[in-house]
Structure 1
């Protein structure tokens, strides 16, 4: 009772600082052509337009706007003949509902064993606690390495699973964007399957070492729990700007500087220089120093895409056919679970252009041959905040796809 009361008081205190999205609405355009995508793209750098689905040919874009910017956004999109319609009347109502659900699940939860709570999202501190429990429970299999610290001093933990030397490695990254909560339980579930459900997955451990960076952006991830649900970036200061943070997935030294380099307020700000962020530098250094990595998997949300390099060009990688064949096989395995089907293809032509991403760094610079990025299914008003009820079915089906990738490494 005392622990539950303390938790409630702590949550009540954090709610006072939490950004309210009361009255925010989400506008959706019509399905865009190539020309309309190009005309809409400049709005992405304007703070009045918060894109939750970026413009791309063949799909609609979605934009969250505050009450004071609604008229401007609506008028601008209508003048561009993009037929905007309101698809969410009040984002704040749904955000508060999500927070209430999370609080109730935390208080009511009765932990049994070491399995992660797949019925809710875990804070960074809870992820740390789970990692410690796994390491203590499986000392001959699990080691945990501190590969660096975030701007605010949180530790970047890599969990390694190995039952013998001389094997290929599979690296799993999640949580590089703060607001993309669903990626973390997807990675946690894979870790859980390889430890708690060892009998069923022994072959995957006999063939490969596994590495997990469960929260690649711990400051941004934590801030999305305590202050702003839709925070994406790190929390580092930017010289000459009151806006904090850099997009760590635009900060790797691979085609760096092509996008978002001058506007520190942009969600895709690439930073003052490549590796300006300790988080991206630590990950890059660890990948470069780890031999025999055969596969790199990164979990993002949202969109329902299963992609491979590149994001910075529409040129295809040398083993594009192999990557596509593996992704299609993984997609078939995923679809067999609940019927959900991902859209498969190279990132730039399937989703949008992105520069300085860990995905392309892992493939081009480190030379990892099998690189895949999951954009998990969306949910909630902006796609980034699915209800807790979607966690378990999503991570279960994704695990089947991960097993296909691992078997191909």
Structure 2
């Protein structure tokens, strides 16, 4: 089956009475298990992919290389899935016994209507907080709309600048709707940066100009809160359909105009998770980000916050060739990883995304590095390594924020050691 896997899943979902906090229109995944599958070689990878063609399974990451994958499976297919895995020698273990139950725990945390980092929040609450924080620190913070999504939602940014002439830093999050921890962590870091009396953060606040885009993909983000927790893409119709109906959405982190469609899994399949779009920069959200990035002169650091995997990923995604200043970027990424580990001993791996994670092209970090000449450009894949995956409990937000804040402080120490800002 080539098509939008999770839309196929929906025909197997049983609708039941919902919790008060869980949206009544939300797709349910009662009894779905999440398995961790170890794919050891190319032959197993081929068979693993075939299973998605005739079973209702949700592969949560691209099947581009051998390695470990998390797969959500409907109750009616679990026995068949386990049997096939055994037949092909695929090692599996159950990491989530009831996905719906875990998702509902996440939604129960949404009951808070004021911004904090003990809960996940919806778009309205986050945008209200952005406006509030800009007013509170109005002497050196401003918020503005950089563009609009396909459905007409504003894409908001924050600029933090104590004095003109300081080096420009850009960080964004939630280009993938499913990755709630990314915007939660970024807004928490912004709060730390603005309010902390820690001299290290005060120095970062005053010595650099910061641009933040906490939610690049507002349509997908809202859809993941109101309709489908597993949603990844934006919400623009692709112009195609399959047996489940109209196919919506492009993976925005496959749509940037650098090595577009050169390498990656199912990027040319309009109904799949990782569809790269009909053309580079075809999506309004990507056009917005491109215009925004191009409007900022001499960006020194670009970071894209994602989940999950505990990774600091560097250019390139489309090839195994390393960029000419890779050693410098690796040193800076290792500085980030060292800072993260200093808090709770969370270990981050560092490397080029095409080797360390999986082959991909049209990604924002590669565009920023190769087209805009940003000297340090990276994707940060936040917690965890598969225990919860995309469904990290809200009670871990504060811990992730604390370790990432230390990581970013250390990143700037390493960057200065390498003369990035000279």
Assess same fold via TM > 0.5. Answer: yes
CA RMSD of aligned residues (A): 2.3
> What's the CA shift string for 1:296-320, capped at 9, x where partnerless?
0111111111111111111111111
Q: Distance in 2 between matches of 1:341 and 1:56?
A: 24
Quote the offset at 1:204 in angstroms: 1.3
1:279 aligns with 2:285: yes
Q: Secondary structure at the match of 1:219?
A: helix
Matched ranges for 1:95-110 at <5 A: 95-103=103-111, 106=112
Aligned residues, how many?
390
Q: Distance in 2 between matches of 1:69 and 1:382?
A: 21
Structure 2 match to 1:123: 122
> What's the CA shift string for 1:219-245, capped at 9, x where partnerless?
111111111111111011111321111
1:87 aligns with 2:95: yes
380, 383, 389: which is aligned to 1:374? 380
Please list every run of at least 4 consecutive aligned residues from structure 1 whose deviation after the TM superposition is greater than 4 angstroms: 11-14, 41-47, 53-58, 379-382
Matched ranges for 1:264-303 at <5 A: 264-303=270-309
Q: Distance in 1 between matches of 2:286 and 2:410?
A: 28
Matched ranges for 1:115-264 at <5 A: 116-197=115-196, 200=199, 201-241=201-241, 242-258=246-262, 259=264, 260-264=266-270
Structure 1 match to 2:59: 51
1:65 aligns with 2:63: no
In structure 2, relative to structure 1, the CA distance for the partners of 1:137 and 1:87 (3 Å cut) is: closer
> Structure 2 stretches of 5 or more lacking a match?
1-18
Q: Secondary structure at the match of 2:145?
A: strand
TM-score relative to the length of structure 1? 0.88
Contact kept in structure 2, 1:45 and 1:266, CA below 8 Å: no
Structure 2 match to 1:8: none
Quote the offset at 1:186 in angstroms: 1.5
Q: Secondary structure at the match of 2:143?
A: strand
Q: Secondary structure at the match of 2:340?
A: helix
Quote the offset at 1:46 in angstroms: 7.6
Contact kept in structure 2, 1:167 and 1:292, CA below 8 Å: no
Structure 2 match to 1:5: none
> What's the CA shift string for 1:39-67, capped at 9, x where partnerless?
54566788833112444667322211223
> Structure 1 stretches of 5 or more lacking a match?
1-10
Quote the offset at 1:28 in angstroms: 2.3
Structure 2 match to 1:3: none
> What's the CA shift string for 1:365-401, capped at 9, x where partnerless?
1110101211111388751111111110111111111
In structure 2, relative to structure 1, the CA distance for the partners of 1:217 and 1:80 (3 Å cut) is: same
Structure 2 match to 1:365: 371
